[in-house]
Amino acid sequence: MTVERYERQKLLGKGLMSHVWLARDTYTQKLVALKIMAMIGEDDRRNHKAQERFHREIEIACSLQHLHILPILNYGYMHYEESYVPFFVSPHMSDGSLADLIKARPPWKYWSWQHLADVIMQGAASLWYLHTRQPPIVHEDVKPANFLIRLEHNTSRIAHLYLSDFGISRWLQSSFSLASEVLGTFAYMAPEQVERQVDRASDQYALAVMACYLLTGKLPIQAATNEEYAQAHLHDPPAVPSRLNAERGISPEIDEVILQALEKDPAHRFPSIMLFAQALQQAMMRVAREQAQVRTVRTNPVVTDPTLPILAKPQSRHNELALPLTLDPLDTGSEHLLDEPLPVKPQKFPSTALHHDVSYAPIQLKNSMALELPARPRLLSWSPDGNSVACSLYGHAPLIIAGDGRVQEVQGARAREATSLCWSPDSRAIAVSTPGTVYFWDRAAQSPLPLVLPYSARSLDALDWSVDGRLALWADNQIILYQLPSSALMVQRMAAMQTISTGAMRSGNVGVLRWSPDGSWLVAGGHNGAIMGWYGKGLSSVWRVTDPGQKVNSIAWSPNGGLLAGAMRDNRVVAWDARTRKIVTTWTKLPAMPRGLSISLDEHMTIASAEKRLLSGYPDEAFPSENVPGQLLAAWSPRRSDLAALEEQRETSLVFWRG
């Protein structure tokens, strides 16, 4: 990575240990937020601690992949202010933070109950994802300024939230040199955090403080200084929300839920942050229904509609007043304003002419490694941690290729007949489909695991494993779901399974059954051209993404879960915004039939075909604009700007490109 890639344009914020710049990515021509560690004079001890914290922030953020968590696009070292220091890059969010939205349109005055419940549920979903990692992660600084937003402007959602700033986050049951310090925002700090005993319930406490503030405009614990806040959180009972704002119509049930989440003893709070958010949502929706039943006078929606926040937008980017990343945890007054990772832009309709003669710019990648394989691969799959690639091959046992080039052969009964495979959420095992069975391979022990799943279909091309441990198998006209935590792989018999009927739709290809990165959606693309999605508890809600047409060859999600794309047999690629379920781009009349499709961290949609080049472009482009040598298969890493593809002249040579 070279320094010249990011052209600093404007200093957005300056803290004791880091500076944040608005910068232009010269590779993509997009604005990004560039956070750079700042040295503290000649204080080597503080500089060492700051560097430890900065590295941990990068490591934690890079390990996360969720619809409501702001991704890191890149990181490295750069020369800055006469020092060689670490930096990382995040999307620049033009709509700001939840704190900005609160200032512009106070929720306790204008938001609907549905908007309030939705915002709290989104925040809880991102934190629950942290809490269920192995090992669990505690954010430690939950507050409105650390939730960045993309405005939605509809009756069900006022904004899409992205949790950011992992500067003081930590893994549980791990010791750090910073553990002896009290870090965070004192107004939102749980009692045990004041005493340096951080737990997942600490984030629940902070989210409950935030919920009370959204509901009432006041904090449940109030003080004048940080020291007074610390003592108040330890000893003072929180204020009852309904008494803080009597006009809001807060029910006793809402009071009870919030006060339970604000218990001084973490053991007395809800068992998980999601249970707290769900209980609060149910209580709010009951109030909304009761108020709707007694409402007899409708106000003028143009004047009093609570669903439409009024935000003053700057006339130009140069006049934006924005802090895209929290600079230091102790700067409690700092604000965030980053640009959304996936902007919803008007669809651009491509020309109806054929595009065989289009001139493509090369993607700025470097060839880091090439390996000769014993046979042609039929599928490439990156591990969730981004460290290895697994591939199934024609007539040969599957292989796992580590980042340093080490190759492991996946053995097992009829391994040479394997058709497809997928990774476990923790990257420790892979599921391999062979005729009649799916077996599991332990990559550390380099041996098969006890569990074997039988199926009756002729072949099983499509399978995928969700981030929350659900394995989906597409066999004939049904999708079979198993809940498979790590412990379940160690026994030989499985419990009951769930099935979803796909009707007339069959798979007929690898890579056409995909869980969204956060595990909330399961999407399947059929041989008849239809694409279906299932969502919600028990996957009971259905999204008919496309009607029947030409066969679906491949499906891909962006790593942040905001973009879904499908490659069709009729030389066409279509992409949808997963939040709005609307088409954002359609590439038609491609020069060759797309066989493989993958989306990078910065939302490059890359197509592999029988041509000796991979075509790439962004979802706001009318047609692919870039290319890199390769053919047939391509897969972007979910963690870094690394691309695995088949060499353009040899279909048995696997090439790794590095950004």
Residue with tokens 């309709």: 349
Lowest mean pLDDT among 164-173, 295-304, 553-562: 295-304
Q: Which of 197, 507, 129 is nearest to 189 (CA)?
A: 197
Q: How far apart are CA 102 and CA 211, in angstroms?
A: 12
Q: Higher model confidence: residue 2 or residue 539?
A: 539
The verdict on whether omega for the bond into residue 220 sits within 30 degrees of 0, i.e. cis, is no
Are 76 and 207 in the same domain?
no
Instruction: Report residue 392 as tokens.
Output: 């199934």
Domain CATH number, residue 243: 1.10.510.10
Are 85 and 110 in the same domain?
no
- DSSP H stretches of helix in 270-381: 273-294, 301-304
Q: Which of 38, 65, 91 is where one domain is finished?
A: 91
Residue with tokens 């892979």: 430
Residue 283 has pLDDT above 90, yes or no: yes
Are 114 and 77 in the same domain?
no
CA atoms within 13 A on the CB side of 596: 26
Kindly state the average pLDDT of the residues 373-396.
Answer: 91
Reading across the β-sheet that carries 74-80, which strands appear in turn?
A: 6-14, 18-25, 30-37, 83-91, 74-80
Task: Please indicate, yes or no, if residue 50 is contained in any of the structural domains.
Answer: yes
Kindly state the average pLDDT of the residues 401-426.
Answer: 89
Q: Which of 76, 91, 106 is where one domain is finished?
A: 91
Q: What is the predicted pLDDT for the residue at 123?
A: 96
Task: Please indicate, yes or no, if residue 644 is contained in any of the structural domains.
Answer: yes
Q: What share of the chain is helix, strand, coil (3-state, %, to 5)?
A: 25, 30, 45
Give the DSSP letter string of 565-623: EEEETTTEEEEEETTTTEEEEEE-S-SS---EEEE-TT--EEEE-SSSSEEEE-TTSSS
Report yes or no: 501 and 534 within 8 Å, Cβ to Cβ: no
Q: What is the predicted pLDDT for the residue at 496?
A: 62
Task: Please indicate, yes or no, if residue 544 is contained in any of the structural domains.
Answer: yes
Distance of CA 232 to the CA centre of its chain: 36
Residue 74 has pLDDT above 60, yes or no: yes
Confidence band, pLDDT 50/70/90 cuts, at residue 179: very low
Are 57 and 177 in the same domain?
no
Q: What is the predicted pLDDT for the residue at 318?
A: 31
Q: How far apart are CA 520 and CA 525, in angstroms?
A: 17
Q: What is the predicted pLDDT for the residue at 340?
A: 29
Instruction: Report residue 246 as tokens.
Output: 């009597």
Task: Please indicate, yes or no, if residue 141 is contained in any of the structural domains.
Answer: yes
Confidence band, pLDDT 50/70/90 cuts, at residue 172: confident
Are 49 and 156 in the same domain?
no
Report yes or no: 18 and 35 within 8 Å, Cβ to Cβ: yes
Q: Give the whole-number percent of the chain exceeding pLDDT 90.
A: 49
- For 141-169, what is the HEC assignment? CCCHHHEEEEECCCCCCCEEEEECCCCCC
Are 267 and 376 in the same domain?
no
Domain CATH number, residue 382: 2.130.10.10
Task: Please indicate, yes or no, if residue 208 is contained in any of the structural domains.
Answer: yes
Are 52 and 123 in the same domain?
no
Q: Give the whole-number percent of the chain exceeding pLDDT 70.
A: 85
Q: How far apart are CA 117 and CA 324, in angstroms?
A: 25
Q: How far apart are CA 410 and CA 447, in angstroms?
A: 8
Q: What is the predicted pLDDT for the residue at 317?
A: 30
Kindly state the average pLDDT of the residues 41-53.
Answer: 78
Are 87 and 162 in the same domain?
no
Are 65 and 208 in the same domain?
no
Q: Higher model confidence: residue 364 or residue 422?
A: 422
Kindly state the average pLDDT of the residues 48-61.
Answer: 87
Q: How far apart are CA 59 and CA 42, in angstroms?
A: 26
Are 411 and 277 in the same domain?
no
Q: What is the predicted pLDDT for the residue at 350?
A: 35
Burial per residue of 321-353, b for 16 or more beta-carbon CB atoms within 10 angstroms, e otherwise: ebbbbbbbbbbbebbbbbbbbbbbeeeeebeee
Q: How many domains does the chain have?
A: 3
Q: Which of 69, 91, 113 is where one domain is finished?
A: 91
Can you name the residues that pair with 448 across neighbouring β-strands?
441
Q: What is the predicted pLDDT for the residue at 50?
A: 83
Q: What is the predicted pLDDT for the residue at 345?
A: 34
Report yes or no: 58 and 75 within 8 Å, Cβ to Cβ: yes
Q: Higher model confidence: residue 82 or residue 422?
A: 422
Residue 410 has pLDDT above 50, yes or no: yes
Task: Please indicate, yes or no, if residue 332 is contained in any of the structural domains.
Answer: no
Mean per-residue pLDDT over the chain, rounded: 83
Confidence band, pLDDT 50/70/90 cuts, at residue 180: low
Are 157 and 217 in the same domain?
yes
Q: Higher model confidence: residue 154 or residue 180?
A: 154
Kindly state the average pLDDT of the residues 389-404.
Answer: 90
Domain CATH number, residue 55: 3.30.200.20
pLDDT digits 0-9 by tens, 476-504: 888 999 988 877 887 766 656 788 888 88
Helix (H) or strand (E) holding 49: helix 44-62
Task: Please indicate, yes or no, if residue 7 is contained in any of the structural domains.
Answer: yes
Instruction: Report residue 551 as tokens.
Output: 């066969």
Kindly state the average pLDDT of the residues 577-588.
Answer: 91
Task: Please indicate, yes or no, if residue 263 is contained in any of the structural domains.
Answer: yes
Q: What is the predicted pLDDT for the residue at 359?
A: 53
Q: What is the predicted pLDDT for the residue at 485?
A: 80
Domain that holds residue 58: 3-91
Q: Higher model confidence: residue 245 or residue 486?
A: 245
pLDDT digits 0-9 by tens, 341-384: 333 333 333 333 334 445 556 565 666 678 888 889 999 999 99
Q: How far apart are CA 478 and CA 498, in angstroms?
A: 10
The residues, ordered by sequence, that sit 6+ positions from 457 with a Cβ below 8 Å of its Cβ are 475, 476
Helix (H) or strand (E) holding 107: helix 107-110
Identity of the residue numbered 232: A
In terms of phi and psi (left: phi > 0; alpha: psi -120 to 50; beta: otherwise), the region of 173 is left
pLDDT digits 0-9 by tens, 284-340: 999 998 888 776 444 444 333 333 333 333 333 333 333 334 333 333 333 333 322
Residue 464, number of CB atoms within 10 A of its CB: 24
Computed from CA positions of residues 538, 544, 548, 550, in that sequence, does the dihedral angle turn out positive or negative?
negative
Identity of the residue numbered 636: W
Q: How far apart are CA 478 and CA 125, in angstroms?
A: 29
Instruction: Report residue 78 as tokens.
Output: 């750069």
Give the DSSP letter string of 489-546: GGSS-----EEEE-TT----STT-EEE-TTSSEEEEE-TTS-EEEEESGGG-EEEEEE
The residues, ordered by sequence, that sit 6+ positions from 214 with a Cβ below 8 Å of its Cβ are 102, 107, 108, 111, 116, 119, 120, 144
Q: What is the predicted pLDDT for the residue at 322?
A: 34
Are 390 and 447 in the same domain?
yes
pLDDT digits 0-9 by tens, 91-150: 999 898 999 999 999 999 999 999 999 999 999 999 999 999 888 999 999 999 999 999
Report yes or no: 382 and 635 within 8 Å, Cβ to Cβ: yes
**Strand bridging mode 596-599 / 582-587:** unpaired
pLDDT digits 0-9 by tens, 188-227: 999 999 998 888 999 999 999 999 999 999 999 999 999 9
Q: What is the predicted pLDDT for the residue at 89?
A: 93
Q: How far apart are CA 376 and CA 289, in angstroms?
A: 59
